[in-house]
Amino acid sequence: MNDRIEAIILKADPYKETGGLLQVFSKEHGRMTILAKGILKGNSKNAASVQPITYCHMVLDIKEPISLLHSASIIDFYRYIKEDITKLSVASLICEMAMQVSSPYQPDEYLYEITKEALTAFNSYPPMLIGCLYVSLILKEMGISPMVDGCVVCDDTKVSAISVSEGGFVCPRCARNVTSKAYDANFSRLFRYAVKAEWSNLSALAKQGEYTLELLAVFVEFFKDYTSIPLKSWEFLRKL
């Protein structure tokens, strides 16, 4: 049918000898599985355009469960991501999360927009900041955002630790009775800001302090604990 879409390549796996199975994310159709024939051949015109973490224009036949690619052309290769191992690792985490929480052929304009904006933001903002805010927004969208207005157990406003199992901040007294980890005031402040923020607050968050791998780890732990979804890209990123 020669349908035309713009999409983010989330993942690409080999298929048979010379083909590939792509997981892509489009505004109009959500996450799609696409068969790309011949992309592993040396003379393939589509190979460069369908690499993971690439924004491209596609001509294809849309059909569930697997669509068929005819041609693809690059809109944004995100070179600034692929030339930096930390940016690439965080971007891979973002793409994997988008793939895991989206539904096949079900449009999700909000998830699509924040994923696309996150990849663009790597050109201007620190990768850990982008990762923290993105995961926080995913948690919020899923209804599992951490509670950060006081102790999640007793509502005391004097908090000293974060408990993933309890769902947010805990005070010194409650921290003795639940599984939690103590953090300094600056860490807790940055964590709370990211939980409260929307994507439009990215620039303001960047001025508040340094978002670190340790901060991102807490957000990822909330995601993994409440969804039971494994994240292969996180296992690599956390070792950097």
* Token pair recorded at residue 157: 């406003």
> What are the 10-residue block averages of pLDDT along the chain, 240 residues in total?
93 94 97 96 91 97 96 97 98 98 97 98 98 98 97 96 98 96 96 98 97 98 96 93
- The strand pairing partners of 67, in sequence order, are 34
- The strand pairing partners of 6, in sequence order, are 57
Is 150 strand, coil or helix? coil
What are the domain boundaries of the chain? 3-77, 84-237
Given this model, what pLDDT does residue 42 score? 83
Is 204 strand, coil or helix? helix
Is 3-77's fold the same as 84-237's?
no
Q: Which CATH class is domain 84-237?
A: mainly alpha
Q: How far is CA 145 from the centre of its chain?
A: 15
- For the chain, what is the radius of gyration of the CA atoms? 20
Is 57 strand, coil or helix? strand
Beta strands in the chain (DSSP E): 3-15, 19-26, 30-36, 54-61, 66-76, 161-163, 168-170, 181-182
The CATH classification number of 3-77 equals 2.40.50.140
